[in-house]
Amino acid sequence: MTVTTTAHVQRPPAEVRYADELARLRAADDAPTPPGWALSLRAARAFIVGDEKLGVTRKFVGDPSLIDRALVSLATSRGLLLVGDPGTAKSLLSELLAAAVSGDSTLTIQGGAATTEDQIKYSWNYALLVAEGPTERSLVPAPLLRGMAHGQVVRFEEITRCPLEVQDCLLSPLSDRVLAVPELPGDGGMVFAKEGFNIIATANTRDRGVNDMSSALKRRFNFETVFPIADFDTELSLVEAEAGTLLRRSGVTTPPRRDVLEVLVTAFRELRAGRTARGDEMERLSSVMSTAEAVSVAHAVGLRGWFLRGDAGTAADLVSCLAGTAAKDSPEDLAKLRRYLEQHTSWRNGPQWRELRDARRELPGG
Amino acid sequence: MSLTVIGVRHHSPACARLVGSTITALRPAFVLIEGPADMNARIGELLLGHELPVAVFTSYLDEQRRHGSWAPFCAYSPEWEALRAGRECGAELRFIDLPAWHEAFADRDNRYADAELRYAEAVQRLCTEFGVDNSDALWDHVVEMGPAEQVGQRLETYFDLIRGDSAAGTSDTAREAYMARWIRAAQVAAGDRPVVAVVGGFHRPALLRLASPAGSPATAPSASSASSPSSPATAPSAPSGSSPSSPASPIGGAAGDPGVGDPGEPGWPEVPEPPTGATAGSYLVPYSFRRLDAFGGYQSGMPSPEYYQQLWESGAEQAARYLITAVAARLRRRGQPVSTADLIAARAGAEALARLRGHDCPSRVDVLDGLASALINEALDVPLPWAVRGTVTAGQHPAVVEMTAALSGDRVGRLHPDTPLPPLVHAATAELERYGLDRAGEHTTDLTDPYGRTVSRVLHRLRVLEIPGFRRDSGPATGIDPVLREQWTVQQHPHRLAALIEAGGYGPTLESAAATRIAQRIDDAGGDLGAIADALFDAALCGVTDLGSDVPDRLERGIAVAGDLAVLGRVLAVTLALWRHDRLLGTAGSAALGVVVAAAARRILWLAEGWHAPGAPADRERIAAVVAVRDAVLHAAGLGVDRTAAVEISGRIAADRAAPPELRGAFYGLGRSLLDEDDPAGLFPEPSEAVRGAFTGGAAGDWLAGLFGVAREHVLAPGGILRLLDDLVGGLGADDFLIALPALRQAFEYFPPRERETIAEELLARRGLGGSGRDLLRMSVAPQTVAAGLALDEAVEERLARAGLITVGRTDD
């Protein structure tokens, strides 16, 4: 079932996408490797922040110290919990970390309201269970059990969307590093975690936050907050590159206009932070103004421009797309967006801002 | 003649160590230090034996510009170490940089800020290359944590990379040219003996180039005469004479090293004189680690002084241990739980991070990262301060706040008792004597009289500087108070002298010190509008009109984050009045107040549009805020209060069903009065229509209160809405009327008595009744009686109607 080739797969896991980079890193790796790890800490770090000499690309735009802390957490006896706003690339980071540490990022539990312990720990092949009773053959291991048995990193996405009692089944695997399978007789009843096992969980701060987590479980995780990209130019380049790729894939041949993207990224950053470049404080939008959303708005702007008129998309298109993507269906957000366009566009220089202001009536209900 | 130029980062222990060892090994004839050349005659003052940190404070004042800046020294400053080691081995010490008041420093508050930050691109490249977050982590990684042996070489490589081929800005070029002249002169004077120069590493490549013999054709002729250090040649610009406001110079000169500061000597560069009419002075003031850490942006130097002090005193291992212990102790004192397990995790994390990053023992950021991983188990609201470089902002996790506080430390410097007093002490004493304020007693000042105003300003400046013993018992409390006399009580206070010495750090005269202090208060106020308003009013009382070039920006930022409409309205009303009218305090037309007016008007419009409370009762203060905006738009258009924007926003609020009724009414009034009859876009319906709309909404009284508060002329104007109002009020049922009554009363209170009388008379006339309108305004019986009468009428009417004797609900007109 393991994916080994990129052919016909929509999105192969990180260890397959970057197999050659991982191989080069492994070959050049001369630093001590923590027990059970596929790479040394330094090589794992280089895999994520990039290493020009080895031809390893930078895969995560963010503070390098965050990666350092995350890797060190994984090498210690605590789990790693990545928290942050939606769209800050937490899941990508957890995938990259798992690929670097264990060479396998597919031991993933997707948290949700309906997640049960079966999906986390193990369940049974009922036909075999009835025929043979509880044996290791009839046991169907879920990611946690497999990770512990093989010494690998287990990813737990959106952990706080699980019910509290389900989350708490991680307590003894994290602290005692053991999972009991009481149905199995003899030694098989206790699965002791092999070296290399740890958990990377992600949680977003918008949905339910981490307040719903028991403090016992909190204590067993090191928290790392992932922030939106701090640097304007970095975010702009990222949006430009990603939107460009998406547009090419959609058959649009003109690249997005840089000045329109500048306006877009500025507006997103200001609405996200609740503060303009000049320092005016305003309410944040309740919808998520992540870089990922900015990319999808840029994509939509490009599509509109190209397929409706044959140009690269204008600031006026931006207004229409913002309404749908950023404000979603919330009338409050729409009102906030309108106020922003009314009051915080006039004092800026540049024709694209004027264009944006003139197009503010495009907002629904304007 | 060998020249050694040590390029340093200011406040770096590793650099200080290198400086100390180099000077001790070379025993140079001259030690040249990047520092204010106008202090050369008084270098002895620095070496009296102060408790560090101390700073040289320089103030400058001319008609256009006021500037104050600091050159802070702590034990691990390379410059300080150069002074100490240089004196120990008998070298002659010279500061070789331009004075701090020079134009080259016009935008700088901190002489020892990191120059390379102004050339950020190279730094950014290096950070990416080394995989660190920012320049501080980079510096620790490359210099402080590296092996001690090759630190000099690494520094050279580092600064050569940073400097690269980029051309320095004009101010850096001017400084480098000046410093190079000193270096060349010292080389000539030293003959065969070595010369050591300690300068910012960023300047080193340029200085080496400029100071090389090829770059100095002028040195040869003066070489023979330069060897006599005590040449009695007349000084073209003795630093001690250059500043009329620094009486301390002669004492400092006496305590100085022999031979220091002979600028008249051939070959030595002259020390620039302040331009005619300008006052400049430098003197020593006590400093503190907290202030050292508080510079932000381009002004900042190395952060976390207490950590580096530990690093300097006892090495990296100890400093890391100190950091963990100090943070744990601080957190426990605050009642935050820090378990032993947490500390073990923090320690282990720090060690592991150090190893991952290739440090022998944990660096500053390793320890901080380790602590953060172990102690914080919540999502953070803002990024960790050491990851983004900058001062601690609001919203930090308490553990992070304690961590940065522990790093910052609370060491405060103290000057040696023999240090000459700062000029402020002399200036203040002279002023007190001049106006007879030096004796205890009561003083009355009359603000309308120029002499009284001067005395009042002196007293207010002392009060603002928190010099004990000067208390104002009465006087104007706001800018629009009609109080013109002040009562003061002056007492002799034992701490007066100490307080004046401390205040000396703010400036050489009472006026400039008060200005600096007020500017600092504005800076500290953040978004606290009350504090900003107080500071501005104090500025007016002190007669300080120019607070410095960056204060308007800070004010604007402070107001841009304010969140209370009522307070903003008050501030706008008072500042607008001060800005428009006040000739007494001399604030009319002041630039700082103009900024406040424009920013506050803009902010009120922004906040008002976001205010959603459809059923809220009328609030006079919110209405007053709209009135203040109206006045600002009408009278201060030149300041950038945008009339079109105001009209558009008024239109939207007036039409917004979710807005509180009095704001809708008030903005309706604002829009109408700004547009007059000229409303092509049809933003505002006719008054009659708008009023009817308000009455159907059920909050008529509140809406009217807003309208009357801002624009009551629509009621009394010919063709006004009085008749309509009368009809609508008359049409209210008795119960509805009683409910609407308090709000209606509030609304009509906006009319002065005379206009109320006119209204009453019109109402009488309309009903064809005679009599005086004034009588109608005075009620001879208690309101309860009237209410009971109304209820009785109502009951009777109801019964009559039920009996079919009358028809209700129609007024016969």
pLDDT score at B237: 38
Least confident among A296-300, B78-82, B424-428, B690-694: B690-694
pLDDT tens digits, B279-288: 777 778 778 8
- pLDDT of residue B44 exceeding 50: yes
pLDDT score at B645: 82
Whether B353 and A68 lie within 8 Å, measured CB to CB: yes
Percent of chain B with pLDDT over 90: 2
Percent of chain B with pLDDT over 70: 85
pLDDT tens digits, B699-710: 778 888 888 888
Q: Which residues of A touch B400 (CB under 8 A)?
A: none
pLDDT score at B236: 38
Contact A132, A138 (CB under 8 A): yes
Does one domain contain both B107 and B172?
yes
Any domain includes B232: no
Boundaries of domain holding B68: 3-114+166-225+239-292
- Whether this model's pTM surpasses 0.90: no
Based on the structure, what is the number of domains in chain B?
A: 4
* Greatest alpha-carbon span in chain B: 129
Does one domain contain both B220 and B348?
no
pLDDT score at B296: 53
- Average pLDDT of chain B to the nearest whole number: 79
pLDDT bucket at B249, cuts 50 / 70 / 90 = very low
Q: Which residues of B touch A219 (CB under 8 A)?
A: 377
Environment class of residue B586 by beta-carbon count within 10 Å: exposed (0-12), middle (13-18) or buried (19+)? middle
Q: Which residues of A touch B557 (CB under 8 A)?
A: 279
Mean pLDDT of B434-451: 84
Mean pLDDT of B587-615: 82
> Closest approach of chain A CAs to the CA of B171, in angstroms?
27
Does one domain contain both B344 and B266?
no
Percent of chain A with pLDDT over 90: 25
Mean pLDDT of B541-566: 77
pLDDT score at B698: 65
pLDDT tens digits, A247-281: 888 888 888 888 889 888 988 888 888 878 777 77
> Closest approach of chain B CAs to the CA of A41, in angstroms?
6
- pLDDT of residue B242 exceeding 50: no
Domain ranges of chain A: 14-112+149-163+192-225, 232-362
Whether the CB of B603 is below 8 Å from some CB of chain A: the reply is: yes
- pLDDT of residue B28 exceeding 50: yes
pLDDT score at A96: 94
pLDDT bucket at A211, cuts 50 / 70 / 90 = low
Task: Specify the DSSP class assigned to residue B144.
Answer: I
Element (H, E) at A360: none
Interface mutation target, options A68, A71, A204, chain B, most CBs of B under 10 Å? A68
Q: Which residues of B touch A72 (CB under 8 A)?
A: 349, 352-353, 356, 370, 373
pLDDT bucket at B244, cuts 50 / 70 / 90 = very low
Q: Which of B408, B438, B463 is the last residue of a domain?
A: B408
The token duo for B190 is 């030293």
Least confident among A39-53, B76-90, B532-546: B532-546
- pLDDT of residue B1 exceeding 70: no
pLDDT score at A128: 93
pLDDT score at A131: 92
Any domain includes B441: no
What is the number of CB-based contacts under 8 A between chain A and chain B?
109
Question: Pairing mode, if any, of strands B3-8 and B195-200?
Answer: parallel
Q: Identity (one letter) of the amino acid at B610?
A: G
Of the partner residues B131, B370, B645, the one whose CB lies closest to the CB of residue A346: B645
pLDDT score at A141: 92
Q: Which range in B27-41, B468-482, B723-737 is most confidently predicted, on average pLDDT?
A: B27-41
Task: Specify the DSSP class assigned to residue B368.
Answer: H
pLDDT score at B533: 80
- Give the whole-angstrom CA distance, residue B64 versus residue B60: 11
Whether B349 and A68 lie within 8 Å, measured CB to CB: no
pLDDT bucket at B226, cuts 50 / 70 / 90 = very low
- Measured between its terminal Cα atoms, the distance across chain B in Å is 112
pLDDT score at B812: 47
Q: Which of B382, B408, B434 is the last residue of a domain?
A: B408
The 3-state secondary structure of B708-767 reads HHHHCHHHHCCCCCHHHHHHHHHHCCHHHHHHHHHHHHHHHCCCCHHHHHHHHHHHHHHC
pLDDT tens digits, B640-683: 778 888 888 888 888 888 888 888 889 988 888 888 767 666 77
Task: Determine the residue of chain B that is closest to A278 in CA distance.
Answer: B557
- Give the whole-angstrom CA distance, residue A286 versus residue B237: 65
Q: How far is CA A10 from each of CA A15, A58, A93, B269, rounded to the nearest angstrom?
A: 15, 22, 19, 72
The token duo for B461 is 């400046």
- pLDDT of residue B615 exceeding 80: no
Does one domain contain both B806 and B741?
no
Environment class of residue B547 by beta-carbon count within 10 Å: exposed (0-12), middle (13-18) or buried (19+)? buried
- pLDDT of residue B148 exceeding 80: no
pLDDT score at A2: 54
- Give the whole-angstrom CA distance, residue A105 versus residue B275: 70
Does one domain contain both B221 and B84?
yes
- The contacts found for A211-214 with CB under 8 angstroms, 24 or more apart, are A212/A160, A212/A164, A213/A159, A213/A160, A213/A164, A213/A167, A214/A164, A214/A167, A214/A168
Closest-CA residue to B15 (of B308, B428, B212, B332): B308
> Which comes out higher in pLDDT, residue A174 or A325?
A174
pLDDT tens digits, B159-205: 888 777 666 777 888 888 888 888 888 888 888 889 999 988 888 88
> Which comes out higher in pLDDT, residue A159 or B259?
A159
Q: Which fold has domain A14-112+149-163+192-225?
A: Rossmann fold (3.40.50)
pLDDT bucket at B423, cuts 50 / 70 / 90 = confident
pLDDT score at A213: 83
pLDDT score at B442: 87
pLDDT score at B240: 38
- Give the whole-angstrom CA distance, residue B811 versus residue B291: 76
Does one domain contain both B669 and B808?
no
Of the partner residues B356, B379, B383, the one whose CB lies closest to the CB of residue A72: B356
Does one domain contain both B108 and B185?
yes
> Which comes out higher in pLDDT, residue B635 or A99?
A99
pLDDT tens digits, B358-382: 888 888 889 988 988 888 888 887 7
Any domain includes B270: yes
Mean pLDDT of B312-334: 88
Whether B606 and A282 lie within 8 Å, measured CB to CB: yes
Whether A339 and B610 lie within 8 Å, measured CB to CB: yes
Does one domain contain both B807 and B674?
no
pLDDT score at B234: 36
- pLDDT of residue B813 exceeding 50: no
Does one domain contain both B338 and B214?
no
Does one domain contain both B570 and B656?
yes
Contact A197, A151 (CB under 8 A): yes
Question: Pairing mode, if any, of strands A108-110 and A153-157?
Answer: parallel
- pLDDT of residue B257 exceeding 80: no
Does one domain contain both B757 and B811?
no
Any domain includes B502: no
pLDDT tens digits, B469-526: 888 888 877 656 667 788 888 888 777 777 787 787 777 788 888 888 888 788 777 6
Separation of CA B205 from chain center: 36
Contact B29, B195 (CB under 8 A): yes
Contact B330, B318 (CB under 8 A): no
Q: Which of B384, B408, B432 is the last residue of a domain?
A: B408
- pLDDT of residue B223 exceeding 60: no
Whether A65 and B383 lie within 8 Å, measured CB to CB: no
Give the SS3 label for residue B443.
strand
Instruction: Give strand pairing partners of A179.
Output: A191
Does one domain contain both B249 and B331?
no
